[in-house]
Structure 1
Amino acid sequence: MTNRNTTFHILLAAQFALIAVSMLVNVKTGLFSMVLILLLTTVCLIQLSNGKSTEWKRGQNIMTWLFIVWLLYYIMEIMNPNCVLEAWNINITPYALIPLICAFVVPVVIRTRKDIELLLLVWSVFVIIFTLKGYWQKNHGFSTKDLYFLHVLGGARTHIIWSGIRYFSCFSDAANYGVHSAMAAVTFSISAFFIDSKWKRIYFLFIALCGIYGMGISGTRSAMGVLMGGMLMITIIAKNWKALLGGIFISIGIFVFFYYTNIGSGNQYIHKMRSSFHPTEDASYLVRVENRQRMKELMARKPIGYGIGLAKAGNFDSKEQMPYPPDSWLIAVWVETGIVGLILYLAIHGTLFAWCSWLLMFKVRNKNLRGLAAAWLCMNAGLFIAAYVNDVMQYPNQLTVYTGFALCLAAPYIDKHISEEPEENEDPEEIEKQEPHLIKEPNE
């Protein structure tokens, strides 16, 4: 592995490490994240500039240009009459810098399938840590720091509720933990079927189970959207009728289980998940619908929004404040950037999903590589479904999501590398199935 690969993998690990460290001490993740990302990205770019084989053209892709447009709109938001510069500064990293850095750096740095596998291995270590912390909270109780969050900061209001206790592991809240766990479950369960090593396959399936466990104890209903969205997406990308039928069958089975039966409702976690399939019977959902109607009236005179970072009233001293909570990420984008910003945001991500899907389906021939990249894209699809009902784009999910998009853009280059050097990158039996002319008999 080259230094530039090492630096980028350290960058990913550092983001998760900040969450793990928060078990012990209070960490201002926004500030430390920004410093780490900028520092390690600078080091990575310096290393890339010193490499003769660096292909900078890979970084000049559709994702880079799309997020340059988004960055320009973000900068324009400074002129918003309601703008609070402190809030604008805090949010520039997750809103604009992380997507742009991933778009440019990932396709340049990630050059082989093994690099993608290593990203998964780095992430998996922290999934285990997060799961162990969640398990400890459930079976051995909360730490002093956890109790401070619950009873001093008011977390108990949303985490100790009628359906039981919602566990949050190392994360800022149970919703963030549950969604991140679902993201891991989708990514690792799909990746497990596209790994050559039997032991890695078993390990990845174990990590997926850890994700499902974390999702369950978090009591986060929006996490179901991540799972359902991920499964439906893989049936599209797989280009395989068996995968299509299997995905449809599993999706219908899950829907029927939760919607039409009461099996397992005695379990608080199954009961909580089942309620997500009956939203009109949920009082909190009805309140959200009512709030959004009231927001719509206020947003009619705010085409560029209330200002970056001002979706939640009371966090900053602004001239005007939205009196209703945004309750989801996409609603927060709408409130902060207006209908203009929301349309641009959705157009950018819609274009990314379409382009990445097209690349994986028609430009990547290697089955295992396509599957590994598709796992990240399926995770993203599920996340954006959940983004409509919950604030899922919290730290550290942004880096994971935009790394996933960028890996899809890197995949055609990796595929080309595999086809040019098959003897070093592929199992001979797999090559013979895909490209019989590349295999020669020993006596030829």
Structure 2
Amino acid sequence: MAQSIFSLSNRSSNQFWLYSLAGGLYTVGAGYLISKLGGAGAVLAILAPLLLGLLILVFLEPRFGLFLYLQLCFIVGFARFVHVSVPAGLLVDGVLALTLFSLFLNGQRMEWSRLRSPAFLLVAIWFLYTVIELFNPEAPYRPAWFFHVRAFSLHWFLVACMVLVAPITRKDVRIFVNSWLIWSFLAALWSFKQQYIGLSPDELAWLYSGNNAKTHLLFGQLRAFSFYSDAAQFGAEMAGATLVALIRVFEEKKVHYKVAYALLTLVFFWGYAVSGTRSALFVLLAGFPFYLILKRDFTKLIIGVAFAVPLFLLLMYTSVGSSNYQVQRMRSALTPMNDPSFILRLQNQAKLRTYLQDLPFGAGIGTSTDMGARFSPWHWAAQIPPDSWYVELWIETGRVGVALYILMLTGLAGVGVYQVWRLKDPWMIKVMYGFLAEFFGIAVMGYSNPVLGQFPTNSVVFISTILIATSYRWDTKPETSDSEIDQPLPAPLHYEAI
């Protein structure tokens, strides 16, 4: 007994000295950071223990890294409002790299056989093509490839590995959905603050830097951008969230859920409206009919068209509501040939066609937009704005690349439709309906804006497309309760099945 008490006392003493040493080292380190960096050092000293804890959690559970990646992709938008230089993109890269390392570290628990998924094959082929583009002889500055390939394919490839291999449960899918909707709701509220209360000093500083004021202040009206990269990105996210919430209104059976999602639909739609992003309207115009096709409910599709056509005619051929700026912006989206900016886009594409007619593999990844302006501003690819995700792909990867990319998107949508039509579980069906319709709408909008290459839209698309393609993992009988379906089901579908 005495020996046991002595052993316990000795262990407590060792722990006391260990904690004292750690606390002393932390205090010294915090003091050093504050003395050298001032306020920034104090912030780093506070965040260091939190970051260490997150790092340990990622190593212990790869799924945690995946959801940390999702949250971080929303948080990076705040980087512009912080007076400390934050390498937001590198933080995201670091989280993905650590999560990939964690997959191998916990390899025995991972489901590596799921990499035989058709969706992974499509993403892997596109990723391989972009790797080959590193050796494109037309590239004026080859190291720029490392900056643009992340948004083009690398992140999608890594996320596909993680979603497929990690033992994701039904509860994890619910967390993903709720995280996205909560962030979207907060973004909408922040945009209302910008529109009706005003911008903070940091937001004003961003607005009047570069060309931001030219694109976000039109005729004295602010295009709200919330905490996203720009108003176009924010508008696309709000339109996608509107679509998903609207689908849930139709799919939910209980009245209080219908009312809650109807209110969210109104909030998200007004968030889209104050963004002034005309092209985001096509997320709704393409996504909702696609949802009705998914349901194979052609009666409702015909009814929807019957209601939509008069509305379109009202916007296109009358001036009703023109006194409202948001309504007028929507109207201009349906009459593009009366829009000088759209005509300029067509003229730019005509110039690009001349340059690219003898370049089937493009000018090389990293030659256009911001990377082109940074590393090869003298090159023609950096001097003509693409104003479109697909045009950007056309410039950098050529007609071969953009065709391959569109085939990948079409293939992912096809695999998704096949899987969703096989689902039996009502909750999983309505979630995947929303994801698939939003993916289709965002893909259509990609013709007008490069939202598929920006945080957080691309992160949501990267995760949701693989969730859709492997939704059979969480399918259950309709009568099964949530408490009985926390674990993923075995994968019944590989290449041979389609």
TM-score range, shorter chain: 0.7 to 0.9
Q: CA 1:22/1:121 → structure 2, altered by over 3 Å: closer, same or farther?
A: farther
Say which is worse superposed, 372-381 or 136-145, in terms of deviation. 136-145
Aligned partner of residue 43 in structure 1, secondary structure: helix
Number of equivalences: 420
RMSD (CA atoms)? 2.6
1:175, CA displacement in angstroms? 0.9
CA contact (8 A) 2:79 2:88 kept: no
Alignment partner, residue 11 of structure 1: 69
3-state SS of 1:401 partner: helix
Question: Tell me, what secondary structure is at the counterpart of 2:477?
Answer: helix
Q: CA deviation at 1:16?
A: 1.2
From 135, 144, 149, the equivalent of 1:79 is 135
Secondary structure of the 1:332 match is: helix
The one-letter amino acid paired with 1:17 is I
Match in the other structure for 1:410: 470
**Residue 354 of structure 1 corresponds to which residue in structure 2?**
414
Give the one of 443, 466, 482 matched to 1:384: 443
Shift in alpha-carbon separation, 1:315–1:209, aligned structure 2, 3 A: farther
Q: Distance in 2 between the 1:386 and 1:75 partners? A: 26
Does structure 2 conserve the Cα–Cα contact (< 8 Å) formed by 1:127 and 1:207? Answer: no
Larger Cα-atom Rg: 2
Contact residue 136 and residue 361 of structure 2 kept, 8 A = yes
Q: Is the 8 A contact 2:420 2:429 kept in 1?
A: yes
Contact 1:188 1:205 in 2 (8 A): yes
1:285-322, CA deviations, whole angstroms, 9 ceiling, x for partnerless residues? 11111111111111112211111121225232277332
Q: What is the TM-score of this pair, normalised by structure 2? A: 0.78
**1:74-113 counterparts in 2 under 5 A?**
74-83=130-139, 84-109=141-166, 111-113=168-170
CA drift of 1:230 comes to 0.9
1:333 to 383, 387, 393: 393
Is the contact made by 2:138 and 2:364 (CA closer than 8 Å) also made in structure 1?
yes
Residue 247 of structure 2 corresponds to: 190
User: Does the C-alpha gap of structure 1 residues 19 and 200 become closer, same or farther in structure 2, counting only changes over 3 Å?
Assistant: farther
What letter corresponds to residue 280 of structure 1 in structure 2?
M
CA distance in 2, matches of 1:44, 1:152: 41
CA 45–195 in structure 1, closer or farther in 2 if over 3 Å, else same: farther
Find the counterpart in structure 1 of residue 228 from structure 2. Answer: 171
Which residues of 2 match residues 217-366 of structure 1 at below 5 A? 217-312=274-369, 313-317=372-376, 320-322=379-381, 323-361=383-421, 363-366=422-425
Larger deviation, residues 96-105 vs 385-394: 96-105
- C-alpha distance in structure 2 between counterparts of 1:216 and 1:240, whole Å: 29
Do residues 396 (structure 1) and 453 (structure 2) align?
Answer: no
- Quick one: structure 1 residues 11 and 110, their matched pair in 2 at CA, closer, same or farther if it must change by over 3 Å? farther
* Secondary structure, aligned partner of 1:308: coil
Q: Distance in 2 between matches of 1:137 and 1:390?
A: 22
> 1:55 offset after TM fit, Å?
3.2
Deviations 1:37-94 (A, max 9, x none): 22234335544x243xx43323321121112211221111111124333321112222
SS at the partner of 1:407?
helix
2:190 corresponding residue in structure 1: 133
Aligned to 1:430: none
Distance in 2, matches of 1:35 and 1:204, equals 35
Whether the 8 Å CA contact 1:61–1:103 is kept in 2: the answer is no
Corresponding position: 1:153 with 2:213: no
Distance (Å, rounded) in 2 between the aligned partners of 1:425 and 1:250: 41
SS at match of 1:180: helix
CA contact (8 A) 1:380 1:401 kept: yes
Aligned-partner Cα distance in 2 for 1:146–1:384: 29
1:64 equivalent among 116, 120, 134: 120
- Cα offset, 1:426, TM superposition: 8.3
Deviations 1:352-393 (A, max 9, x none): 1122112212x2123332221121111111111111112222
Q: Distance in 1 between matches of 2:147 and 2:254?
A: 42
* Cα displacement (A) at 1:350: 1.2
Q: Name which of structure 1's ranges 168-177 and 23-32 shifts more when overlaid on structure 2.
A: 23-32
d(CA) in 2 for partners of 1:401 and 1:208? 20
**Following the alignment from structure 1 to structure 2, what is the Cα–Cα distance between the partners of residues 242 and 368?**
23
Question: Residue type matched to 2:281 in 1?
Answer: M
Q: Quote how far apart the aligned CAs of 1:424 are.
A: 5.0
Amino acid paired to 1:281: N
Q: Is the CA contact (8 Å cut-off) linking 1:98 and 1:398 kept in structure 2?
A: no
Higher helix proportion: 2
SS of corresponding position for 1:315 = helix
Mean Cα displacement is larger for which, 375-384 or 17-26? 17-26
**In structure 2, the residue corresponding to 1:350 is in which secondary structure?**
helix
1:211 aligns with 2:271: no
Does the residue aligned with 2:451 lie in a helix, a strand or coil? coil
| Higher mean C-alpha displacement, 128-137 vs 397-406 | 128-137
The one-letter amino acid of 2:88's match is T
The answer to whether the 8 Å contact 1:59/1:105 transfers is no
Q: Percent identity?
A: 26
Distance 1:24 1:210 in 2: 27
- The 8 Å contact of residues 113 and 414 in structure 1, kept in 2 or not, is answered as yes
